[in-house]
Each structure stands twice: as C-alpha cells, then as structure tokens.
Copies of this chain bind each other. A is one copy, B any other.
C-alpha cells in the first residue's frame, strides 16, 4: 500500500514526514499491539518480554494471535526477516534483528534472513549491481553480529538463492496479477518488470517451511504480508503472523527516517567513537536552550532523541529509564548529561558490535552455506515443494 497524506508517506520504498503510528494502524488495516496480546505473548514465552515489547516499540501486528495459539498448542513456528542492502546499516536497522534473535533464543526455532539485493538493484535508478553486492556483504556482517544460531539460521542473497527457489516462485507469481501489485505497492506503467515480479520472492520465503512464519519487520513492509495473506491458503501454506516495529527516530528530530543521504541523521554501525560523539552531541533535543532554563522548565523526553534512543534500545533497565524520564522532565537531568549517558551506552554497544562484526567475516559461511539449516536449504528441491 502506498500511503500518501500531506503529512507523511510510508511505503516499502519511502518513509517521509512525521510518522503517525495510530493513523498507520488504521490505513494499513493492522491491529495495535494491546496489553492483552502482550500478556498472552508473555505467557507463552515463559514470563518475560523484550524491552521492544514492554515499551511497545513493536506496536502493531497482523495475525499475531495465530502464532500465539500455535506456540500455546505446541506447534513450531519459524522466523523470517530481511534487509534491502542499498547502503550501510545504522542502529535503527538492527531493531527487527535484535528482536528476532531474542525470539529465536526463546523458541529455539529456525530463522530465515532474506537479503534483497535484486529488489534494491531494481529499485535504485543509479545503483550498479556491483555496488549493491558490496553492501549486501557488508550488511550481512552487521546482521550476523547480532548473534543468531548459525545452525538454525539461513541468510541468503536473492540473486544467489534464486536458483533453488524459482520453481516455488512461479507458483506464487501465477496467483498475483498486475492489478493487485499495482494497488498494493503503487506500481505503475513505468515500473520495471523486475520490480513488478519481486514481491513473489519476499512472499515465497513465508513458504520455506510447512508451518507458520512469524515475521518481525518495520511497518513499511506490511503490504507484502497483506498480499501473503491473500494467497497463502490457495497454495496450501500458512498465513504469516507479523509484528511491526516503529522507526527509531532520526538524530535530526522526530520527522522522517534515518538515511544514508543525510549521514548526521543516523549512527552507522561502522561509525567510529569520535563520529558517534559528534553526532549524539548535535542530536535534536527536547531540552531548553540554556541549562538555567532547563533546570527551571524541564525538558520534553517525548521528542528528545537521546531519551528516545535509550527507550528504543540502549537502556535495558526499566527503572533507570523511568528515573531518567522523570529527571529530564523535571529539569534535574540536563541535556548534556543525558547525551553523555547515551553516548557511553552506545559506545559500549558499538564496541561489542565491532568485535562480533569482525568475527562475522569467518562465520558468514555457516549462515550462508555450511550451517545445518543452510546446508538443508541448499539441497532443497523446491520443484517438489
């Protein structure tokens, strides 16, 4: 669905303006992640919820109740998420991966991670294929650094895995016509025929196992899963359960999405500490112009990027977060202090990420080819699926 309003735009290829999540829930036709659903999820997952759930950073879903029922009744699921490798990954891109890894640990199930190099090449008018492949490799290192189980995780590049999966794709493609993808993705007469075909691949991954997929993704990917629901049953497969995350607010303020074209809007996973310090210090703030005014009137954590980043990812302790929020609102905690606190958290996170990213260069062959699940997927005959 290409949603357009005067204020903001959210499609799989564009996020612009200040995203109104309540409104998105309505126009996309998804369900909000209510306390009731969260409690049920908590119960089937053994009593604990990830901070991304506790704080409703994951805020909406499509058919999550089916996955909860499956878990409750002892049916296995599999996890599926992905990445379009059009540039370097930033901290915000990690949210679905961190959450997916947490679910894998909880449920001990397979994870499929699709790297859509085909889609990115087809979508970006100026991108060369070589450039996209370079980013694909680079992004995979960041994803692997999240720590998925190498025997239960299959990371694949579309252009590489297409050979195995095309017989499944034609079955999916036969059930989707131009009129549907045009209504759902906003494809027009001038859309290239590679991009028109692409949704087939993103959807087909939900049929990699003959059980239900659970898909953590950013809300902009919902159009794919809506289409998946339309065709899954006819093909004899399961409808996917999906759960949607908000976008980590850009350093530059509460509108838009972090982006490579505006490097100061985001922390990239390869930024060094000096760059991180500089970017955080100049980040959009909810504080007052001077320390005096801040002490007097207090700050606004709801729009303060540093506070939001702690909430989204970097402060795991709910009590500490609450204290920070109160102190900032009351003016006891100054903007500089808050930013420094975030900086220290981020630096620690990045240090660990860098180490793991380095190790990922050796591990990548497990996820792509040699791990248990990868080997199974490379010997799979989808013409008989």
Residue numbers of A with Cβ under 8 A of B are: 118, 121-122, 129, 133, 158-164, 166-167, 169-179, 181-182, 187-197, 199-200, 383
Task: Given A121-B170, A129-B167, A163-B164, verify A189-B178 contact (CB < 8 Å).
Answer: yes
Instruction: Pick from B121, B159, B177, B193: contact of A192, CB below 8 A.
Output: B177
Q: Can you report 27 A-B residue pairs in the complex whose CB atoms are below 8 A from each other?
A: A121-B170, A121-B171, A121-B174, A122-B174, A129-B170, A129-B383, A159-B166, A159-B167, A159-B383, A162-B162, A162-B166, A172-B194, A173-B192, A173-B193, A173-B194, A173-B195, A173-B197, A175-B192, A176-B193, A177-B190, A177-B192, A178-B191, A178-B196, A179-B190, A181-B193, A194-B200, A196-B197
Within the oligomer, what is the number of copies of this chain? Answer: 2
Tell me the minimal C-beta distance from A232 to chain B in angstroms: 16
Q: Give chain B nearest CB distance to A234 CB in angstroms.
A: 13
A182-B177 in contact (CB<8A): no
In whole angstroms, what is the CA distance A122 to B197 when docked? Answer: 12
Looking at the assembled complex, report how far the CB atom of A174 sits from the nearest CB atom of chain B, in whole angstroms.
Answer: 5
A187 to B133, alpha carbons, bound, how many Å?
A: 32
Residues of B within 8 A of A197 (CB): 173, 193-194, 196-197
Contact of A159 among B170, B182, B199 (CB under 8 A): B170
In Å, the complex CA distance between A1 and B167 comes to 28
- In whole angstroms, how far apart are the Cα atoms of A293 and B301 in the complex? 104
Cβ-defined contact, B171 with A129, below 8 A: yes
Beta-carbon nearest neighbor of A172 in chain B: B194
* 12 other A-B residue contacts (CB within 8 Å) besides A118-B166, A174-B194, A178-B191: A121-B170, A121-B171, A160-B163, A162-B162, A173-B192, A173-B197, A175-B192, A178-B189, A178-B190, A178-B196, A193-B199, A194-B197
CA distance A383 to B174 in the complex (A): 27
Give the CA-CA distance A76 to B170 in the complex, in Å: 35
Once A122-B173, A166-B163, A171-B129 are accepted as A-B contacts, the answer to whether A188 and B178 lie under 8 Å apart by CB is yes
CB closest chain-B residue, reference A190 = B177
**A164-B163, A197-B196, A200-B193 as given contacts; A383 in contact with B178, CB under 8 Å:** no
The residue of chain B having its C-beta at the shortest distance from the C-beta of A163 within the complex is: B163
Determine which of B133, B175, B176 lies in contact with A383 in the assembled complex, contact meaning CB atoms within 8 Å: B133
Complex Cα–Cα for A233 and B191 (A):
21
The answer for the CA separation of A48 and B133 in the assembled complex, in Å, is 50
Interface centre among A161, A176, A195 (most CB of B within 10 A): A195
- A308–B195 Cα gap in the complex (Å)? 46
Q: Which of B129, B159, B192 contacts A176 (CB under 8 A)?
A: B192
Distance in angstroms between the alpha carbons of A197 and B190 in the assembled complex = 14
* Neighbouring B residues of A158 by C-beta, 8 Å: 166
> Cβ of A178 and Cβ of B187 under 8 Å apart?
yes
Chain B residues whose C-beta falls within 8 Å of the C-beta of A163 in the assembled complex: 160-164, 166
In the complex, chain B residues whose CB is within 8 Å of the CB of A121: 170-171, 174
Contacts of A118 in B (CB 8 A): 166, 170
Contact A174 to B189, CB < 8 A, known contacts A118-B166, A163-B163, A383-B133? no
Interface centre among A166, A167, A170, A173 (most CB of B within 10 A): A170
**A194 to B199 Cα, complex, angstroms:** 10
Nearest-Cβ distance from residue A132 to partner chain B, whole angstroms: 9
Contact between A182 and B173 (Cβ–Cβ < 8 Å)? no
